[in-house]
Amino acid sequence: MQTILEKAVAGQITTEMRQIAQAEGLEPELVRGRIAAGQIVVPLNKNRPARLVGIGKGLSTKVNASIGTSTDLCDIGAEIAKAQAAQEAQADTLMELSVGGDLDLVRREVLKAVDLPVGNVPLYQAFREAEDKYGDPNKLSEEMLFEIIERQCADGISFMAIHCGINRETILRLERQGYRYGGLVSKGGASMVAWMVANNRENPLYEQFERVAGILKKYDVVLSLGNGFRAGALADSSDRAMVQELVINCELAEMGRRQGCQMMVEGPGHVPLDEIEANIILQKRMSGEAPYYMLGPLPTDLGAGYDHVTAAIGAAQSARYGADLICYITPAEHLALPGVADVVEGVKVCRLAVHIGDLAKYPERRGRDAAMSKARRDLDWQAQYELALFPEDARRIRGERCPADEHTCTMCGKFCANKGSNAVFGHLLEGSVKR
């Protein structure tokens, strides 16, 4: 079976390409060409049909929501509720990142509960199963690791964050710079480093990269090159260890594409605002413009309780400068496992952030915002609800504080600015603002 990448390289425009082009307002041939060049990916799986989502150059910036059990809190019903809430709140993709309970069962139930493309991190299950079987995650065998990757692909996972870019050289960079302020904050990355040190071995995901890509290619799953050395503190942003991993991941993205596997690159964690653009430029140039999956990014370390807002600021900038998929952050980040309300808030704030970024990246797409402005000027509340990113929230808030005059709101009441100015300039409204 040919992957969508191989079909694109062969010049074939598939149904998926046509549907993505229509959804994004682009020509199918443009979409095909960018898939062929590795600049657009489509998370798929031959075993599980899912909602079509294009990620990459020239497309709207997409939002990922992450859920999953922990070793402290494991409730499959809660995770299903969070998955469904994320989909309803307009997430484009979902990551199932469980480490507690029956991991195969959790994954399979989540896959049944939504029609979004679902991703995961296979290292989580690999090290959990090694802990269960041997009492020591560092006794994980290579064959167990590759068997788990295949098992998860067979279940219907559409994209996998796999930490292939960690190798001995990356660890050496970390040691030579004297470690970090924020340490290693990637569960998968930290676990793989511990395994490599304990076994005095190279990372098998790096050493046998062609095998990794071959498994994912078999199912047409996107290989998202995990960011195991992402910065967990502003002081660590753009350090040598992070850049070393990024260089390796960009090389691997090129290798995977040549093998026929769809490739995406991840990064970079906590990043000050003034480094976001440079980080994206670096990734795009080194990877041949592979889609960039941004985790956050968080431009301050001090936002605990409001890190969804912190990340939204970073996400808007990231979308503006060319990021393609943003992983949301919830209010619970750095504090606790998120609940349903946290997931909904995280998705909506991230959705708003990437829309803001896309308005700067694609100024020709500002028509909906212009229409909203005219609806507000004209006090057309129905149109305002229809144009809002979150119509039901807008209806609820206004409905909870009903105005005396149904044409206004309780912010200004009888002193409504637009009502008064429309009375003065009403003769200009017909055919006004044609630009």
Residue 435 reports pLDDT greater than 60: no
Q: How far is CA 366 from CA 69, 252, 355, 381, 435, in A?
A: 39, 36, 10, 20, 11
Tokens describing residue 185: 């904050």
- For residue 232, give the nearest of 271, 289, 286 by alpha carbon: 271
In this predicted model, what pLDDT tens digit does every residue of 72-130 receive, in sequence order? 999 999 999 999 999 999 999 999 999 999 999 999 999 999 999 999 999 999 999 99
In this predicted model, what pLDDT tens digit does every residue of 224-243 receive, in sequence order? 999 999 999 999 999 999 99
400's CB contacts (< 8 A; 6+ apart) are none
Residue 29 reports pLDDT greater than 70: yes
Per the CATH hierarchy, to which homologous superfamily does domain 38-364 belong? Radical SAM ThiC family, central domain (3.20.20.540)
Biggest CA-to-CA distance, the chain: 80
pLDDT band per the 50, 70, 90 thresholds, residue 433: low
Residue 209 reports pLDDT greater than 60: yes
* Range(s) of the chain covered by CATH 3.20.20.540: 38-364
261 touches 213 (CB < 8 A): yes
pTM for the complete prediction? 0.96
